[in-house]
């Protein structure tokens, strides 16, 4: 060992010292010459000397063993992210399903929402993580089903109302059946006379039209009778004036109770302008039912 090179074959170790060739880990001693008359033994040639990499080869030094990679390399979990694939995006059908279920559109949107939701759920399940929106699809499916049920109920009610609505027109003096008058127990009604009334003095002075009304109750009677505001006076100018609680003729027919199987008579007052020409009087019952008495002269 020396601090400087001493000759051919000397080598420098990681500690910075120079060592003779026989101290190198790869050194192989030369074989002794054969005795006289003997054939030299065959031997494999000594491996050529290779200078070690800097930092290696000090006496007592052993290189660390190589570390083998894990079997199969580095695997990604099934269904997880895989390099090179695009990131997952939301399904357009899932979004459309939720939007249509909320809009409803009288039930049409709800039906489309259910269809789109089912298709979206199938596509998401088959996309292996490339599509998102399962929660949106489920929400659209549930709201759409509720919307379809609501639409069925709504259209059933509309159909029932249309089948049971009444539109009757008769001249003044005729009696009509009013079987759906707000379920107030009124069975028949008659407007027997319509006349103008002029109030020339007092706080209620003005022009009025007064209708004489007779109402009859069925077996259950009527505790509230009818309401003045349910009557409308139509004029030749196309105006419609509702009945008023201002009484020009007593008694007022509004809110008059009627015993079972009996009748009561009263008046409905309409406050009008001067020169008004009445043409008819409407009574609006329950459902979209209208009963009209036409006025002649």
Contacts of 188 (CB under 8 A, 6+ apart): 175, 176, 177, 178, 215, 216
Beta bridge partners of 60: none
DSSP for the chain, please give it: -BSS--STT-EE-TTS-EE-GGGSTT--PPPPPPPTTPPPPP-PPPPPP-PPPTT---TT--PPPPPPPPTT---PPTTS--TTSPPPEE-HHHHHHHHHHHH-GGGHHHHHHHHHHHHHHHHHHHTTTSEE-HHHHHHHHHHHHHHHHHHHHHHHHHHHHHHH--EEEEETT-EEE-TTSTTSSEEEEEEEEEEEEEE-SSTT-EEEEEEEEEEEE-TT-BSS-B-GGGEEEEETTS-EEE-BS--SSSSB-BT--B-TT-EEEEEEEEEE-TT--EEEEEEE-STT-EEEEE---
In 3D, which of 89, 109, 88, 111 has the Cα closest to residue 100?
Answer: 109
Please tell me the predicted confidence (pLDDT) of residue 202: 76
- For the record, the structure tokens of 256 come out as 């008059």
- For the record, the structure tokens of 159 come out as 């159909």
Which pLDDT band, with edges at 50, 70 and 90, does 81 fall under? very low
pTM: 0.52
Per-chain mean pLDDT for the chain: 81
Higher pLDDT, 6 or 156: 156
Query: For 144-182, how does the pLDDT look when each residue is reduced to its tens digit (9 = 90+)?
Result: 999 999 999 998 888 877 776 778 999 999 999 887 655
Which pLDDT band, with edges at 50, 70 and 90, does 67 fall under? low
Which pLDDT band, with edges at 50, 70 and 90, does 100 fall under? very high
Query: For 189-242, how does the pLDDT look when each residue is reduced to its tens digit (9 = 90+)?
Result: 999 999 999 887 777 788 999 999 999 998 888 888 888 999 999 999 889 999
What is the mean pLDDT of the segment spanning 268-293?
89
Question: What sign results for the dihedral spanned by CA atoms 74, 78, 84, 88?
Answer: negative
Higher pLDDT, 2 or 43: 2
The CATH number that domain 169-294 falls under is: 2.60.40.1240
């Amino acid at each position: 060992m020396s601090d400087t090179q001493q000759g051919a074959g000397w080598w420098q170790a990681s500690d910075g010292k120079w060592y003779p060739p026989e101290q190198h880990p790869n050194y192989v001693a030369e074989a002794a010459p054969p005795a006289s008359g003997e054939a030299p033994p065959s031997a494999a040639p000594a491996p050529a000397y290779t200078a070690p990499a800097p930092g290696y080869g000090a006496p007592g030094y052993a290189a660390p063993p190589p570390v083998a990679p894990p079997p199969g390399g580095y695997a990604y979990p099934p269904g997880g992210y895989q390099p090179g694939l695009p990131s997952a995006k939301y399904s357009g059908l899932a979004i459309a399903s939720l939007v249509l279920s909320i809009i409803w559109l009288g039930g049409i949107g709800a039906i489309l929402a259910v269809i789109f939701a089912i298709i979206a759920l199938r596509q998401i399940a088959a996309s292996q993580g490339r599509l998102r929106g399962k929660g949106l699809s489920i929400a659209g499916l549930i709201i759409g089903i509720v919307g379809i049920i609501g639409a069925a109920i709504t259209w059933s009610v509309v159909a029932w109302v249309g089948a049971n609505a009444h539109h009757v027109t008769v001249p003044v003096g005729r009696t009509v059946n009013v079987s759906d008058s707000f379920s107030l127990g009124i069975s028949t009604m008659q407007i027997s006379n319509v006349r103008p009334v002029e109030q020339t003095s007092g706080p209620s002075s003005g022009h009025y039209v007064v209708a004489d009304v007779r109402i009859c109750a069925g077996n259950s009677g009527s505790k509230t009778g009818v309401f003045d505001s349910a009557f409308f006076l139509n004029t030749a100018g196309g105006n419609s004036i509702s009945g008023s609680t201002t009484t020009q003729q007593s008694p007022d027919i509004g809110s008059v109770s009627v015993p079972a199987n009996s009748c009561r008579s009263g008046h409905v007052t309409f406050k009008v302008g001067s020169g008004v020409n009445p043409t008819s009087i409407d009574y609006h019952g329950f459902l979209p039912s209208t009963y009209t008495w036409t006025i002649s002269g």
